[in-house]
Chains A and B, each alone.
Chain A
Amino acid sequence: MDETTLYRKRKRPAEAFLLSAVYGAASVSVMLLCGMIGYLFFRGAGAVSWRFLTTVTDVAKKTSGIAGNMINTLYIAALTLLAAIPLGVGAAVYLSEYAKPGKLVNLIVFTTETLAGIPSVLFGLFGMGFFGETLGLGYSLLTGALTLALMVLPLIVRNTQEALRAVPEGYRSGALGLGASRFYMIRTVLLPAAMPGILTGVLLSVGRIVGESAALLFTAGSDGHLPKPGGSAFGTIRSLGEKMLESGGTLAVELYLQVQNGRYETAFGIGCVLIAAAFGLNLLVKLAAVRLRNRA
């Protein structure tokens, strides 16, 4: 396309090399990544069936199913967010709306980053020891959820903080100028305006929760049974409450165990389900961002 330039381009061998390196690297990663997704579906699609998705594993009948693991995943995600969202949003509001910049803020920012950098195995060790043994919660969904809440906290804090930072200063002075109290201003002006950012943090957290295995293995355990149907509304609440204090393995934990036990077909099946879930989540993040941006 450069034939029409006034000056003939000087040939630069180094440049050609760099360009081919860029093309090479890009094609390697694109082929690698797309190949992986393709291979996972190729190997796993066969294992995914209606029965696989709606029943639990039955050793005597030699069938495998992940319904219990799917419920556990949703349950743990809900519990984790219930604990992490208020804490994370609260901390972010404090950092950006109340605290004076200084040593204290630096310390909180530093610890948030530290928390984000701790590998999940160590969260697992801490959760097992502190929530499981010291607080006596044992292997339970609650232990797992509390552990994960610590793990995703930085994600929520960081995203909320960034979202709050992006809210124009005029919103604040406007609301305060009209006589609103600071808390009222935060509740009615800042948080709604920062909603897209908070939501992004929440959805990213869901992604981490769904994909986590090392931190859950020794906290929430691996049980794959369904909670007992309650019969009535009251019974359902009761059995869900019971479930919270019982062990339960998420999809990723089940995947890990299947890989560990050399049952690759089932593992690939769970992999397909997880990729589909990750795809759905990514779509949600995009949709939420677009919609909320339009509304704002």
Chain B
Amino acid sequence: MKTETKHPHSGSVMADRRKKNAAEGIAQTVFAACAFFVILAVVSITLYLLAKGVPALLQVGPGKILLGTVWKPTAAEPQYGIFHVILTSLAGTALAVLLGVPVGILTAAFLAEIADRRLAAVVKPAVELLAGIPSVLYGLLGLTLLNPLIYRLELTLFRDSPDHRFTGGANLLSAALVLAVMILPTVISVSETAIRSVPPGIRAASLALGGSRVQTVFRAVLPAAKSGIATAIVLGVGRAVGEAAAIALVAGGCVNPPFPFRSVRFLATAIVSEMGYAAGRHRQMLFTIGLVLFSLLMAVNAALTKIRKAGTGEHG
């Protein structure tokens, strides 16, 4: 950072003439240190997870862990396959997004474009409130309201299949529904902001060309708000993949391949629920799961950055 100390602020004539004094130098160093702290934090978290997660990965073998399907960490011959856990995280998130995002975007379009102002003024604070409440509450509601309902559905659907392992309503479907509801407020509120920031000219142009209100919303406004909506989706995905507390109990907790009526375990919940009891290699393995989760989130993050760039490229 020494190389780029004083650089005149854009266009300021007086900047070069300002007196250099000690306070200035210190201030700049302190500000720079703060900025570097952010890099330091990310680097140390990454290194920490690598240091804690990689040894177990190498000792057991990446293939056995990432593609293994049996998770028996405490057996006499322990097996640490997390393939099903990874698949569950992917499938659960996909299902949640599939259910939650369309509803969220349509609701946002309704609030921003169609609803009258008074209704929107009532609904919006409620949505913001729900975006801010702890995710555990969604889990609590899932446990007390959703699980019994899903169990009833399960009893009806599988009445004649003796091979089915009944889950009591705690399964992938329940978890995905909880996640879908959980990401709903975030998706609504971010996409609504994006839709509202579409320049009024676009609407006016569409209407002036004879477009109906629905055509205007779907053909002109939503495409213009594309990048903001994409951000909303990616934020939703990120929240769903990383969520642990809300679905720890709703999903059932067994390591199974992800089918709607199977009891399953997600990556994030695997860490939270076993960290308490795990010891030795089993404990290291939970850090390995952390590492896998981290890589997954990095991929989501990379997608976000790409979308942002594409979005700015379009407008600029």
A–B contact (CB under 8 angstroms): yes
Return chain A residues, CB-CB under 8 Å to B129: 37, 275, 278-279, 282
**Are the C-beta atoms of B27 and A183 separated by less than 8 Å?**
yes
Which of B75-83, B255-263, B286-294 is found at the contact surface with chain A?
A: B286-294
Return chain A residues, CB-CB under 8 Å to B293: 119, 121-122
Tell me whether chain A's interface is mostly helix, strand or loop, or mixed.
Answer: helix
The 0/1 profile, CB within 8 Å of B marked 1, for residues 75-103 of chain A is 00000000000111111011101111000
**Are the C-beta atoms of A108 and B39 separated by less than 8 Å?**
yes
- CB within 8 Å for A32 and B184 given contacts A15-B215, A25-B107, A275-B133: yes
Please give the distance in Å from B262's CB to the nearest CB on chain A.
22
Return chain B residues, CB-CB under 8 Å to A124: 272
Closest to B269 in A: A121
Which single member of B133, B188, B243, B249 contacts A29 (CB below 8 Å)? B188
- CB within 8 Å for A119 and B130 given contacts A26-B107, A91-B38: no
Return chain B residues, CB-CB under 8 Å to A157: 38
A114 at the interface (CB under 8 A from B): yes
Which single member of A37, A89, A97 contacts B130 (CB below 8 Å)? A37
Please give the distance in Å from A6's CB to the nearest CB on chain B.
12
> Chain B interface: which size bin?
35 or more
**Are the C-beta atoms of B13 and A91 separated by less than 8 Å?**
no
- CB within 8 Å for A114 and B301 given contacts A100-B4, A108-B38, A181-B23: yes
Which single member of B36, B268, B286 contacts A119 (CB below 8 Å)? B268
Which of A54-62, A194-202, A211-219, A231-239 is found at the contact surface with chain B?
A: A211-219
- CB within 8 Å for A259 and B115 given contacts A87-B34, A90-B34, A282-B128: no
Which single member of B48, B52, B132 contacts A282 (CB below 8 Å)? B132
Please give the distance in Å from B67's CB to the nearest CB on chain A.
23
Return chain B residues, CB-CB under 8 Å to A22: 106, 109-110, 114, 214, 217
A52 at the interface (CB under 8 A from B): no
- CB within 8 Å for A28 and B38 given contacts A22-B109, A119-B244, A176-B12: no
Return chain A residues, CB-CB under 8 Å to B32: 94, 98-99
**Are the C-beta atoms of A210 and B134 separated by less than 8 Å?**
yes
**Are the C-beta atoms of A119 and B37 separated by less than 8 Å?**
no
Which of A64-72, A241-249, A260-268, A287-295 is found at the contact surface with chain B?
A: A260-268
**Are the C-beta atoms of B38 and A34 separated by less than 8 Å?**
no
Which single member of A23, A33, A95, A108 contacts B184 (CB below 8 Å)? A33
A173 to B14, CA, bound (A): 8
The 0/1 profile, CB within 8 Å of B marked 1, for residues 110-133 of chain A is 111111011111111110011000
- Residue pairs across A and B with Cβ atoms less than 8 A apart, 7 shown, are A18-B218, A24-B106, A29-B104, A98-B31, A110-B305, A120-B244, A173-B12
6 smallest CB-CB distances across A and B, nearest first, come from A119-B242, A90-B34, A25-B106, A211-B134, A26-B110, A94-B31
Contacts A26-B111, A172-B9 known; list 17 others, CB within 8 Å: A22-B106, A33-B185, A88-B34, A90-B30, A94-B28, A118-B294, A119-B243, A119-B297, A121-B242, A121-B290, A122-B49, A122-B242, A153-B41, A177-B12, A211-B132, A214-B272, A260-B249
